[in-house]
């Protein structure tokens, strides 16, 4: 199988010494945990669904190996360079030195030390496998360790932060192919109660080392030494990851959890303090790197409905790691009614034929609708409304009967009238929308490349499961060699959304 680079998993925060001791007892730091619950019923009741774990799926679906033999680094050290299979999974066991169970003096954990040790492991894996780069997969705090290595430690070590050519200069992109994070607090962890007092106490006293989720420490471990100041510059935002040659944002994907309720069962206090607009621990708006690829899934931070041990998380993971085609959908040429004090929002849900889950779910019910800005008279061009970005692996599209990969994009547009930060409900109809339809997209490969068909569900005269695409595929409206673009008008001319309103589908080669 092509595209199989080594994968290194980096776990999340374990807390105090007791938590660290529990973490190191697991040989795979939690990457081996599966689940048997999924919420799919209309009443929200969980039903049985067995997800084996991301680790086992990578082994059974993609042929990855676990090469432990009494200790993964013992095994690596005993091998000649270039002889280890690149299709292998490794665990960054950064907590081992901080545990009290191995009969040695425990070393206090720090993100900087964990990032430095991650680079050492990356270099060893690359040397032993001969692979060009590794892929990093991280949960929660693990994503911050990865970012510290990418943004701070590699520039410090290899001079990527210096101007001009430098002997031995290397970039993070020379080591890491892609970074995938589950529920990482890229913008830190904030609390919905206490008016900032809880954050202040945490950051001042560093209870159980949790100050690493505050802005002061985040600035320190995410900034190269050559750029580090005594205090973070005004307006510094931890969610902003430099989009430069060191590591382009195209190589980053963030899975954002939106289910705070199911985390509350086991972690009631933390869920209450961060509020409902979260995965139970990390607030939705803080789980994103600004401008990076992302997906919203209705899963909690961890537990039986957790992000890592979920089909939703795995399907986004595997498509990002091996996907060779990037697909974006945008709502364009909207001409919304100019109604005073009306707020417009969009909601999207993405599903793939054959999967029992939603790949992406961005809705008002889950506190993450898409906000639509009104077009201003001074705007010289239409501003597209991004709906979703997803990845495809074209080798999955076999040229046989009924082999087309089918994506469905559920699009809703809704409005609310707001006055003085409150809503007027007199004209409101709950659980209804101003526009609601499903775009059905079928994609397959031919000798000439990708082809696709698209139709709105409201235009079908038969059940969706019986529908097969008819006629010619969509026409490419982009004359560039590296991009394919098609425009699908909204049904009935878009109605009040504007006669030119449409969804554009753009397909590009993944970077």
The pLDDT of residue 205: 46
Q: In this structure, are residues 490 and 502 in contact, taking their beta carbons and an 8 Å threshold?
A: yes
Greatest CA separation for the chain: 74
SS3 state of residue 51: strand
Q: Which two tokens stand for residue 242?
A: 């430099």
- With cut-offs at 50, 70 and 90, classify the pLDDT of residue 419: low
What's the CA gap between 114 and 146, in Å, rounded? Answer: 9
User: In this model, does residue 208 exceed pLDDT 70?
Assistant: no
Q: In this predicted model, what pLDDT tens digit does every residue of 269-300 receive, in sequence order?
A: 555 677 889 999 999 999 999 999 999 999 99
Q: 378 is written with which tokens?
A: 């001074």
- Residues contacting residue 90 through CB under 8 Å, at least 6 positions apart: 6, 7, 8, 9, 72, 121, 125
**Among 36-40, 104-108, 350-354, 493-497, whose mean pLDDT is lowest?**
493-497
Cα separation of 468 and 398, whole Å? 16
Which value, to the nearest 10 degrees, does the dihedral of the CA atoms of residues 142, 129, 324, 64 take? -70
Other residues' Cβ atoms within 10 Å of the Cβ of residue 336:
18
Cα–Cα dist 161/171, whole Å: 9
Contact status, residue 257 vs residue 287, Cβ threshold 8 Å = yes
What CA–CA distance (Å, rounded) separates 277 from 226?
36
- Quick one: pLDDT at residue 507? 87
Q: What angle do CA 342, 348, 349 make, to 5 degrees?
A: 155
What is the C-alpha separation between 47 and 235, in angstroms, rounded? 46
- The tens digit of pLDDT for each residue in 303-359 reads 889 999 999 999 999 999 998 889 999 999 988 877 777 888 999 999 998 888 899
Over the stretch 243-268, which tens digit does the pLDDT of each residue have? 999 999 999 999 999 998 887 555 55
Given a contact cutoff of 8 angstroms between Cβ atoms, the answer to whether 438 and 409 are in contact is yes
Phi, psi of 207 (to 5 degrees): -60, 120
Q: For the segment 120-164, what is each residue's pLDDT rounded down to a tens digit?
A: 999 999 999 999 999 999 999 999 999 999 999 999 999 744 555
Higher per-residue confidence, 270 vs 102: 102
Residue 511 has pLDDT above 80, yes or no: no
Q: Other C-beta atoms within 10 Å of 489: how many? A: 14
SS3 45: coil
Q: Which among 356, 361, 359 is positioned nearest to 48, based on CA atoms?
A: 356
Give the helix, strand, coil percentages of the chain, each rounded to 5.
25, 25, 45
pLDDT per residue as tens digits for the range 372-383: 887 666 565 677
Q: Which residue in the block uniquely carries the two structure tokens 């005004």?
A: 234
């Amino acid at each position: 199988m092509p595209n199989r680079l080594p994968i290194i998993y980096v776990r999340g925060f374990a807390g105090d010494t007791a938590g660290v001791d529990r973490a190191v007892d697991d040989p795979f730091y939690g990457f081996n945990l599966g689940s048997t619950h999924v919420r799919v019923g209309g009443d929200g009741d969980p039903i049985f669904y067995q997800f084996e774990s991301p680790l086992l799926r990578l082994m059974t679906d993609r042929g990855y190996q676990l090469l432990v033999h009494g200790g993964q680094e013992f095994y690596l050290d005993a091998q000649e360079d270039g002889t280890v299979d690149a299709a292998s999974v490794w665990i960054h066991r950064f907590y081992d030195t901080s545990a009290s169970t191995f009969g040695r003096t425990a070393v206090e954990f720090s993100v900087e030390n964990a990032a430095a040790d991650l680079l050492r492991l990356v270099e060893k894996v690359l040397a032993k496998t001969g692979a060009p780069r590794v892929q990093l997969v991280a949960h929660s705090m693990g994503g911050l360790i990865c970012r510290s290595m990418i943004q701070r430690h590699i520039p410090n070590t290899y001079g990527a932060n210096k101007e001009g050519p430098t002997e031995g200069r290397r970039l993070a992109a020379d080591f890491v192919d892609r970074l995938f994070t589950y529920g990482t607090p890229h913008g830190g962890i904030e609390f919905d109660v206490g008016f900032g007092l809880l954050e202040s106490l945490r950051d001042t006293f560093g209870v159980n080392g949790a100050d690493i989720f505050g802005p002061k420490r985040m600035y320190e471990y995410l900034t190269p030494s050559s750029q580090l100041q005594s205090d973070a510059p005004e307006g510094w935002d931890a969610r902003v990851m430099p989009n430069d040659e060191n590591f382009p944002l195209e190589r980053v994907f963030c899975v954002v959890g939106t289910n705070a309720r199911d985390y509350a069962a086991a972690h009631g206090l933390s869920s209450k303090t961060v509020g409902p607009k979260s995965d139970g621990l990390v607030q939705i708006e803080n789980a994103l790197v600004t401008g990076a690829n992302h997906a919203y899934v209705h899963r909690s931070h961890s537990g039986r409905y957790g992000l890592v041990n979920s089909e939703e998380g795995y399907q986004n993971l595997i498509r990002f790691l091996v996907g060779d085609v990037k697909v974006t959908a945008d709502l364009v040429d909207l001409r919304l009614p100019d109604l005073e004090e009306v707020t417009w929002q969009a909601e999207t849900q993405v599903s793939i034929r054959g999967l029992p889950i939603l790949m992406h779910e961005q809705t008002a019910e889950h506190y993450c609708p898409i906000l639509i800005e009104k077009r201003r008279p001074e705007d010289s061009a239409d501003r597209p409304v991004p709906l979703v970005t997803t990845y495809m692996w074209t080798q999955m599209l076999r040229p046989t009967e009924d082999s087309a990969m089918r994506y469905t994009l559920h699009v809703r547009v809704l409005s609310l009238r707001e006055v003085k930060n409150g809503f007027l409900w007199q004209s409101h109809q709950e659980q209804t929308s101003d526009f609601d339809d499903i775009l059905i997209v079928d994609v397959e490969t031919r000798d000439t490349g990708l082809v696709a068909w698209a139709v709105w569900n409201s235009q079908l005269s038969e059940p969706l499961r019986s529908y097969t695409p008819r006629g010619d595929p969509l026409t490419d409206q982009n004359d560039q060699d590296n991009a394919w673009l098609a425009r699908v008008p909204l049904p009935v001319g878009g109605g009040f959304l504007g006669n030119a309103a449409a969804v554009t589908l753009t397909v590009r080669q993944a970077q």
